[in-house]
Amino acid sequence: MKKIIHLSDLHLGYVKQDLVSRFNVIVNNIIAKCMPASQFVVVITGDIVNDATQTENYELAAKYLNKLEAAGFSVLVVPGNHDYGTGSLGYKKFVPIFKECFYGDPQIVYPKLDVIGTIAFIGLDSMAEELHWYDRLFAEGEIGNIQLTQLDKLLGNPEVKECQKRVVYFHHHPFDPLPFHELKDSENLGNTLKKHGNVDALLYGHNHEGRKHEVWGIIRCYDAGSSTRKKDMPSVHRIIDLFQNIDADVDEDFEFMTV
Protein backbone atom coordinates (compact mmCIF):
# COMPACT_ATOMS: atom_id res chain seq x y z
CA MET A 1 0.00 0.00 0.00
CA LYS A 2 1.35 3.40 -0.98
CA LYS A 3 2.33 5.96 1.63
CA ILE A 4 2.26 9.72 1.16
CA ILE A 5 5.08 12.16 1.94
CA HIS A 6 3.52 15.61 2.28
CA LEU A 7 5.75 18.63 1.57
CA SER A 8 4.76 22.25 1.03
CA ASP A 9 5.96 25.82 0.74
CA LEU A 10 9.51 25.12 -0.37
CA HIS A 11 9.94 28.74 -1.53
CA LEU A 12 13.01 27.83 -3.54
CA GLY A 13 14.91 30.94 -4.58
CA TYR A 14 14.10 32.94 -1.43
CA VAL A 15 17.06 35.27 -1.24
CA LYS A 16 17.37 35.79 2.52
CA GLN A 17 17.93 32.11 3.37
CA ASP A 18 19.55 29.22 1.55
CA LEU A 19 16.42 27.09 1.25
CA VAL A 20 17.85 25.29 -1.76
CA SER A 21 20.56 23.69 0.35
CA ARG A 22 17.93 22.60 2.87
CA PHE A 23 15.77 21.08 0.14
CA ASN A 24 18.79 19.33 -1.31
CA VAL A 25 19.33 17.60 2.05
CA ILE A 26 15.61 16.78 2.34
CA VAL A 27 15.51 15.21 -1.13
CA ASN A 28 18.66 13.18 -0.52
CA ASN A 29 17.35 11.90 2.80
CA ILE A 30 13.97 10.98 1.34
CA ILE A 31 15.74 8.97 -1.35
CA ALA A 32 17.99 7.29 1.22
CA LYS A 33 15.32 6.61 3.84
CA CYS A 34 12.13 5.83 1.96
CA MET A 35 12.48 2.51 0.21
CA PRO A 36 11.27 1.18 -2.05
CA ALA A 37 10.55 4.54 -3.63
CA SER A 38 7.76 3.02 -5.71
CA GLN A 39 5.72 2.71 -2.51
CA PHE A 40 5.71 6.48 -1.85
CA VAL A 41 3.83 9.40 -3.37
CA VAL A 42 5.36 12.82 -2.69
CA VAL A 43 2.64 15.50 -2.62
CA ILE A 44 3.82 19.12 -2.71
CA THR A 45 1.06 21.62 -1.97
CA GLY A 46 2.35 24.77 -3.62
CA ASP A 47 4.67 27.72 -3.13
CA ILE A 48 7.29 25.53 -4.74
CA VAL A 49 9.23 28.64 -5.73
CA ASN A 50 9.41 31.92 -3.87
CA ASP A 51 9.08 34.19 -6.88
CA ALA A 52 7.91 33.01 -10.30
CA THR A 53 9.09 36.24 -11.92
CA GLN A 54 12.63 34.98 -11.38
CA THR A 55 12.45 32.43 -14.20
CA GLU A 56 15.41 30.37 -13.07
CA ASN A 57 13.44 29.30 -9.96
CA TYR A 58 11.09 26.98 -11.91
CA GLU A 59 14.04 25.19 -13.48
CA LEU A 60 15.75 24.88 -10.12
CA ALA A 61 12.64 23.34 -8.55
CA ALA A 62 12.06 21.00 -11.50
CA LYS A 63 15.59 19.68 -11.14
CA TYR A 64 14.89 18.41 -7.61
CA LEU A 65 11.45 17.04 -8.42
CA ASN A 66 12.92 15.22 -11.41
CA LYS A 67 15.54 13.75 -9.10
CA LEU A 68 12.78 12.30 -6.88
CA GLU A 69 10.97 10.89 -9.91
CA ALA A 70 14.18 9.43 -11.31
CA ALA A 71 14.66 7.66 -7.97
CA GLY A 72 11.24 6.04 -8.40
CA PHE A 73 8.91 8.30 -6.39
CA SER A 74 5.59 9.50 -7.74
CA VAL A 75 5.52 13.29 -7.37
CA LEU A 76 2.34 15.40 -7.42
CA VAL A 77 2.28 19.19 -7.23
CA VAL A 78 -0.21 22.05 -7.28
CA PRO A 79 0.56 25.76 -7.57
CA GLY A 80 0.57 28.30 -4.75
CA ASN A 81 0.39 32.06 -4.87
CA HIS A 82 4.17 32.37 -5.12
CA ASP A 83 4.23 30.02 -8.11
CA TYR A 84 2.27 32.51 -10.22
CA GLY A 85 4.13 35.68 -9.27
CA THR A 86 5.69 37.36 -6.28
CA GLY A 87 3.27 35.92 -3.72
CA SER A 88 1.28 39.13 -3.32
CA LEU A 89 0.88 39.87 -7.04
CA GLY A 90 -0.06 37.09 -9.47
CA TYR A 91 0.18 36.92 -13.27
CA LYS A 92 -1.98 34.71 -15.54
CA LYS A 93 0.93 34.17 -17.90
CA PHE A 94 2.54 31.79 -15.41
CA VAL A 95 -0.37 29.29 -15.46
CA PRO A 96 0.66 27.49 -18.71
CA ILE A 97 4.36 27.93 -17.90
CA PHE A 98 3.84 26.20 -14.55
CA LYS A 99 1.90 23.36 -16.21
CA GLU A 100 4.54 22.88 -18.87
CA CYS A 101 7.37 22.87 -16.32
CA PHE A 102 5.82 20.61 -13.68
CA TYR A 103 3.41 18.40 -15.68
CA GLY A 104 5.01 18.53 -19.11
CA ASP A 105 1.64 19.63 -20.54
CA PRO A 106 0.44 23.28 -20.68
CA GLN A 107 -3.13 22.12 -21.39
CA ILE A 108 -3.72 20.17 -18.19
CA VAL A 109 -6.86 21.13 -16.26
CA TYR A 110 -7.79 21.16 -12.59
CA PRO A 111 -9.09 19.26 -10.73
CA LYS A 112 -6.17 17.03 -11.71
CA LEU A 113 -6.94 13.37 -11.06
CA ASP A 114 -4.18 10.80 -10.59
CA VAL A 115 -5.02 7.28 -9.50
CA ILE A 116 -1.87 5.80 -7.99
CA GLY A 117 -2.17 2.31 -6.64
CA THR A 118 -5.57 2.27 -4.99
CA ILE A 119 -5.58 5.97 -4.02
CA ALA A 120 -7.28 8.73 -6.02
CA PHE A 121 -5.40 12.02 -5.75
CA ILE A 122 -7.34 15.13 -6.74
CA GLY A 123 -5.30 18.34 -7.10
CA LEU A 124 -6.99 21.76 -7.12
CA ASP A 125 -5.64 25.15 -8.15
CA SER A 126 -6.58 27.49 -5.30
CA MET A 127 -5.24 30.43 -7.35
CA ALA A 128 -7.64 29.79 -10.24
CA GLU A 129 -9.91 32.75 -9.47
CA GLU A 130 -7.24 35.01 -8.02
CA LEU A 131 -5.56 36.21 -11.19
CA HIS A 132 -8.13 38.73 -12.43
CA TRP A 133 -7.05 42.37 -12.67
CA TYR A 134 -9.35 43.25 -9.78
CA ASP A 135 -8.20 40.64 -7.27
CA ARG A 136 -4.69 39.56 -8.11
CA LEU A 137 -3.24 41.50 -5.21
CA PHE A 138 -2.58 39.93 -1.80
CA ALA A 139 -2.24 36.23 -1.01
CA GLU A 140 -5.86 35.08 -0.94
CA GLY A 141 -7.13 31.99 -2.70
CA GLU A 142 -10.30 31.08 -4.57
CA ILE A 143 -10.92 27.72 -6.20
CA GLY A 144 -13.99 28.88 -8.10
CA ASN A 145 -17.27 27.29 -9.14
CA ILE A 146 -15.87 25.68 -12.29
CA GLN A 147 -13.42 23.54 -10.33
CA LEU A 148 -15.85 22.88 -7.49
CA THR A 149 -18.47 21.61 -9.96
CA GLN A 150 -15.87 19.29 -11.48
CA LEU A 151 -14.73 18.20 -8.01
CA ASP A 152 -18.35 17.33 -7.19
CA LYS A 153 -18.54 15.20 -10.36
CA LEU A 154 -15.19 13.55 -9.69
CA LEU A 155 -16.05 12.52 -6.14
CA GLY A 156 -19.14 10.80 -7.51
CA ASN A 157 -17.28 9.28 -10.45
CA PRO A 158 -17.10 5.44 -10.32
CA GLU A 159 -13.34 5.46 -11.03
CA VAL A 160 -12.78 7.62 -7.95
CA LYS A 161 -15.41 5.94 -5.76
CA GLU A 162 -13.96 2.52 -6.46
CA CYS A 163 -10.52 3.57 -5.20
CA GLN A 164 -9.83 2.47 -1.64
CA LYS A 165 -8.82 6.01 -0.58
CA ARG A 166 -9.26 9.58 -1.81
CA VAL A 167 -6.98 12.59 -1.20
CA VAL A 168 -7.75 16.21 -2.11
CA TYR A 169 -4.78 18.59 -2.14
CA PHE A 170 -4.37 22.28 -2.87
CA HIS A 171 -2.36 25.25 -1.61
CA HIS A 172 -4.46 27.67 0.46
CA HIS A 173 -5.22 26.81 4.06
CA PRO A 174 -9.00 26.29 4.33
CA PHE A 175 -9.16 26.96 8.10
CA ASP A 176 -7.44 29.42 10.43
CA PRO A 177 -7.54 32.21 7.88
CA LEU A 178 -4.93 34.92 8.20
CA PRO A 179 -5.94 38.39 6.95
CA PHE A 180 -5.46 38.63 3.15
CA HIS A 181 -4.43 34.95 3.04
CA GLU A 182 -7.74 33.13 3.32
CA LEU A 183 -9.36 30.71 0.93
CA LYS A 184 -12.43 32.73 -0.02
CA ASP A 185 -14.62 29.79 -1.04
CA SER A 186 -13.63 27.46 1.77
CA GLU A 187 -17.28 27.03 2.78
CA ASN A 188 -18.28 25.92 -0.73
CA LEU A 189 -15.36 23.50 -0.79
CA GLY A 190 -16.47 22.11 2.55
CA ASN A 191 -20.05 21.67 1.34
CA THR A 192 -18.85 19.73 -1.70
CA LEU A 193 -16.64 17.47 0.41
CA LYS A 194 -19.34 16.90 3.04
CA LYS A 195 -21.90 16.03 0.35
CA HIS A 196 -19.86 13.01 -0.68
CA GLY A 197 -18.27 12.18 2.68
CA ASN A 198 -15.67 9.99 1.03
CA VAL A 199 -12.42 11.98 1.28
CA ASP A 200 -9.76 10.46 3.50
CA ALA A 201 -7.27 13.34 3.65
CA LEU A 202 -7.02 17.04 2.84
CA LEU A 203 -3.48 18.28 2.27
CA TYR A 204 -2.53 21.95 2.00
CA GLY A 205 0.01 24.58 3.08
CA HIS A 206 0.25 28.38 2.76
CA ASN A 207 0.12 29.34 6.46
CA HIS A 208 3.48 27.74 7.30
CA GLU A 209 2.15 26.52 10.64
CA GLY A 210 2.21 22.75 10.25
CA ARG A 211 -1.02 22.11 12.15
CA LYS A 212 -3.50 19.25 12.00
CA HIS A 213 -7.26 19.61 12.01
CA GLU A 214 -10.31 17.38 11.86
CA VAL A 215 -12.99 19.24 9.90
CA TRP A 216 -15.86 18.44 7.52
CA GLY A 217 -15.80 14.83 8.75
CA ILE A 218 -12.24 14.37 7.46
CA ILE A 219 -9.87 13.15 10.16
CA ARG A 220 -6.68 14.02 8.30
CA CYS A 221 -6.61 17.74 7.44
CA TYR A 222 -2.90 18.49 7.32
CA ASP A 223 -0.95 21.72 6.83
CA ALA A 224 2.65 20.78 6.08
CA GLY A 225 4.13 24.10 7.26
CA SER A 226 7.12 25.25 5.23
CA SER A 227 9.18 22.15 4.46
CA THR A 228 12.32 24.26 4.06
CA ARG A 229 11.54 26.40 7.13
CA LYS A 230 11.20 29.77 5.38
CA LYS A 231 11.62 32.48 8.03
CA ASP A 232 12.17 29.60 10.46
CA MET A 233 8.50 28.69 10.42
CA PRO A 234 7.44 25.14 11.40
CA SER A 235 8.21 22.29 9.07
CA VAL A 236 6.60 18.86 9.27
CA HIS A 237 7.51 16.22 6.71
CA ARG A 238 4.58 13.93 7.36
CA ILE A 239 4.55 10.36 6.20
CA ILE A 240 0.91 9.42 5.90
CA ASP A 241 -0.38 5.87 5.69
CA LEU A 242 -4.08 6.02 4.88
CA PHE A 243 -4.36 2.27 5.36
CA GLN A 244 -3.31 2.45 9.01
CA ASN A 245 -4.79 4.14 12.04
CA ILE A 246 -4.16 7.91 12.08
CA ASP A 247 -1.79 7.46 15.02
CA ALA A 248 0.61 5.69 12.67
CA ASP A 249 1.18 8.88 10.63
CA VAL A 250 4.73 10.05 11.28
CA ASP A 251 5.93 13.64 11.72
CA GLU A 252 9.31 13.11 10.11
CA ASP A 253 12.16 15.60 9.73
CA PHE A 254 14.16 14.80 6.63
CA GLU A 255 16.40 17.82 7.09
CA PHE A 256 17.97 16.82 10.39
CA MET A 257 17.56 13.07 10.45
CA THR A 258 20.56 10.78 10.31
CA VAL A 259 20.12 8.09 7.75
Q: Which of 80, 123, 141, 210 binds Fe ion (CB under 5 A)?
A: 80
For Fe ion, give the closer residue by CB, 70 or 178. 178
Q: Is 173 in the site for Fe ion (CB under 5 A)?
A: no
Q: Is 129 in the site for Fe ion (CB under 5 A)?
A: no
Q: Report, in Å, the least distance between residue 66 CB and Fe ion.
A: 22
For Fe ion, give the closer residue by CB, 37 or 60. 60
Q: Which stretch, 3-11, 128-136, 151-159, 192-200, contacts Fe ion (CB under 5 A)?
A: 3-11
For Fe ion, give the closer residue by CB, 31 or 224. 224
Q: Which of 57, 74, 81, 186 binds Fe ion (CB under 5 A)?
A: 81
Please state, as a whole number, how many other Cβ atoms lie within 10 Å of the Cβ of residue 38. 12
Q: Which stretch, 47-55, 69-77, 96-104, 195-203, contacts Fe ion (CB under 5 A)?
A: 47-55
Distance CA 108, CA 121 (A): 15
Q: Report, in Å, the least distance between residue 171 CB and Fe ion.
A: 6
Q: Report, in Å, the least distance between residue 80 CB and Fe ion.
A: 4
Cis peptide leading into residue 177 (ω within 30°): no
Q: Which of 12, 23, 47, 48 binds Fe ion (CB under 5 A)?
A: 47
Length of the chain, in residues = 259
Q: Report, in Å, the least distance between residue 227 CB and Fe ion.
A: 10
For Fe ion, give the closer residue by CB, 31 or 227. 227
End-to-end, the C-alpha distance of the chain in Å comes to 23
The footprint of Fe ion (CB under 5 A) covers: 9, 47, 80-81, 206
